[in-house]
Structure 1
Amino acid sequence: MNLAQGLQQAGAIDSIARELGIDPAAAQQAAGALLPAIVAGMGRTAVAPQAGAGGGLAEVLRGSLGGGLLDSILKPEPTPAQPGNEILGHIFGSKDVSRGVAEEVSGSTGLPPDLLKKMLPMLAMAVVGYMMKNRAGGSNAGEASGGGMLGGALGGILSEVVTGMLRR
């Protein structure tokens, strides 16, 4: 199963669609277009953390962000944007890059860039939460290991993303 399918099966894509008030098919299309950028950014960060990023993504995951990210997407309450924006800050380095990703995906999908900008932090949280839950065997118990676990999860996901991109 690839990452997009895993997020769909976990209910993250449908939850994001409900929260944003869009059709689940549009949310799935947007997620499919945004995921390669998110995962590639995570891979770059795992290899070489952004300068001034406060210890890198693995350090953030060891803190309060690691636990419950996927659960916060699945809850009926509004998803807090700060954890997702913090993840995006670590993987992209600046808001300008996030905006650029949204603009580029808008051009290729026809979806409004404002919608994609709202979706990016939610999707980043879903990706990290999904990876953490799967690496920890469905619990948050293994999250404290941070970098090694993140690196292993990214290795598998990056190979899925690259394989999917090569098939296009």
Structure 2
Amino acid sequence: MQITDILAQMGGLQSVANDLGASESEVATGAEALLPAILGGFKQQAQAQPGGLDGLGGLLGQLGGSGLLDQVLSPQRTDPTQGNDVLGQIFGSPDVSRTVAQNAASQTGLDPSLLKKMLPLLAMMVTGYMARQQGGAAPATAGSPMDSDLGGLLGGLFGGRQAAPGAGGGGLAAMLDLNGDGNSLDDILRLAGKAMR
């Protein structure tokens, strides 16, 4: 299942569309272009954390944990401040956020200003979702929006690649191991490199 499908089923794309006064299809198109860069930023953070991917789990909590996802999904307008904090942490500079939005605009034809507003909200959803899954949320039933196949989820972030069967589970490292070979960093490095070009 594509990440945009999962976010749509959770109500995330509709919430972002409502917040930004955009159509859900615009948000879905923008999300497909922006999400790989967000994951690329998390990849860089995983490398920088003591303990690698395990250390990233602690960082997710510091950034706001699963509560960030709840904020975007709530009926109230989302304050993007914490999303901008996430972007500052994973990208290191507002210039990177602007570049990511501009690149996504050239790919999609959407207004760069819309994509720039969308970016912190997507960052909040990804952070919250990863934190919820890493925190050991009860597995959902097969095919539900909160699918427990995290490898498949993150594979969807990078153009619909699917994880090997059974690649879900095993914490954050398994979540980021897109090809199920037990080594997640090789997958993330290769895919994030594509996203950040």
Fold conserved between structures, TM > 0.5: yes
The answer on whether the counterparts of 1:46 and 1:150 sit within 8 Å (CA) in structure 2 is no
The answer on whether the counterparts of 1:57 and 1:90 sit within 8 Å (CA) in structure 2 is no
Amino acid at match of 1:13: L
The answer on whether the counterparts of 2:16 and 2:27 sit within 8 Å (CA) in structure 1 is yes
Give me the identity figure in percent. Answer: 43
Aligned-residue Cα RMSD (Å) equals: 2.7
Q: Shift of residue 127 of structure 1? A: 0.8
Q: Shift of residue 121 of structure 1? A: 0.3
What's the counterpart of residue 26 of structure 1? 26
Q: Shift of residue 97 of structure 1? A: 0.3
1:122 correspondence with 2:121: yes
Q: Cα gap change, 1:111/1:40 in structure 2, threshold over 3 Å: closer, same or farther?
A: same
Q: Shift of residue 151 of structure 1? A: 3.9
What's the counterpart of residue 3 of structure 1? 3
Count of aligned positions: 149
Q: Cα gap change, 1:124/1:111 in structure 2, threshold over 3 Å: closer, same or farther?
A: same
* Structure-2 separation of matches of 1:74 and 1:8: 11
* Structure-1 separation of matches of 2:108 and 2:138: 33
What's the counterpart of residue 177 of structure 2? 155
More helix by share: 1
What's the counterpart of residue 73 of structure 2? 74
Q: Cα gap change, 1:94/1:57 in structure 2, threshold over 3 Å: closer, same or farther?
A: farther
Higher RCO (Cα < 8 Å, 6 or more apart): 1
Q: Shift of residue 150 of structure 1? A: 4.0
> Unaligned 5+ residue runs, structure 1?
50-55, 140-147
Q: Shift of residue 39 of structure 1? A: 0.8
**Secondary structure class of the residue paired with 1:63:** helix
Map residues 8-157 of structure 1 onto 2, 5 A cutoff: 8-48=8-48, 58-63=57-62, 65-135=64-134, 136-137=136-137, 149-156=171-178
Q: Cα gap change, 1:137/1:2 in structure 2, threshold over 3 Å: closer, same or farther?
A: farther
Amino acid at match of 2:33: A
* Structure-2 separation of matches of 1:80 and 1:138: 28
Runs (4+) of structure 1 exceeding 6 A deviation are none
User: What TM-score, normalized to structure 2?
Assistant: 0.66
Amino acid at match of 1:155: D
